[in-house]
Amino acid sequence: MPAQKNLKTAPVATRSNPAHSSYRRIALVFVVLAVILILGVSYLALSKVTISLTPANKTINYDFTLTLADNPQNSSSTSAILPAKIMSEQSAVEQEFPVAQGSMVDGQAQGTVTIYNNRNSSQTLIATTRLLTPDGKIFRLKDKVILPANSSLQAKIQADEKGAGGNIPATSFTIPGLSESLQKLVYAKSSAAMTGGTRQIGVLTASDIEKAKLELSQSSSAGAIAKFAASLNDKSLLLIDSQSKLAETKADQEVGSEVSSFTLFGQLAVAAVFAKQEEILELAKNKFKESNGAKNEFVNVDPSSLSYQLIAIDEKKLEAEVKVKISGLATLDPEKDIFDKNLLVGFTENDLKLYFSQFESIKDAQVKFSPFWIKKVPILKDHIIIKIEK
CA nearest neighbour of 369 among 110, 145, 50: 50
* β pairing state of 319-330 and 103-106: unpaired
CATH architecture of 108-196: Beta Barrel (2.40)
Phi-psi region of 378 (alpha: psi -120 to 50; beta: other; left: phi over 0): beta
pLDDT digits (tens, 9 = 90+) for 236-265: 999 999 999 999 999 999 998 888 889 999
CA nearest neighbour of 281 among 326, 346, 215: 326
In the chain, where the domains are located:
46-58+333-388, 108-196
**Tens-digit pLDDT string for the chain (390 aa):** 455 555 555 555 555 566 667 777 777 777 777 667 766 665 666 789 999 988 877 788 889 999 999 988 888 888 889 999 999 999 999 999 988 766 677 889 999 999 999 999 999 999 999 999 999 999 999 999 999 999 999 999 999 999 999 999 999 999 999 999 999 999 999 999 999 898 777 888 999 999 999 999 999 999 999 999 999 999 899 999 999 999 999 999 999 888 888 999 999 999 999 999 999 999 998 888 787 654 545 667 888 999 989 999 998 899 999 999 998 877 776 666 778 888 999 999 999 999 988 887 788 999 999 888 888 998 888 889 988 887
Exposed/middle/buried for 85, CB within 10 Å: 0-12, 13-18, 19+?
Answer: buried
- Cβ atoms of 168 and 139 within 8 Å: the answer is no
Question: What are the distances in angstroms from CA 66 to CA 4, 45, 237, 323, 327?
Answer: 128, 55, 16, 6, 16
pLDDT digits (tens, 9 = 90+) for 119-162: 999 999 999 999 999 999 999 999 999 999 999 999 999 999 99
Amino acid at 75: S
d(CA 217, CA 6): 146
Q: Name the phi and psi angles at 342, rounded to 5.
A: -60, -30
* Other Cβ atoms within 10 Å of 344 Cβ, number: 20
* β pairing state of 130-132 and 138-141: antiparallel
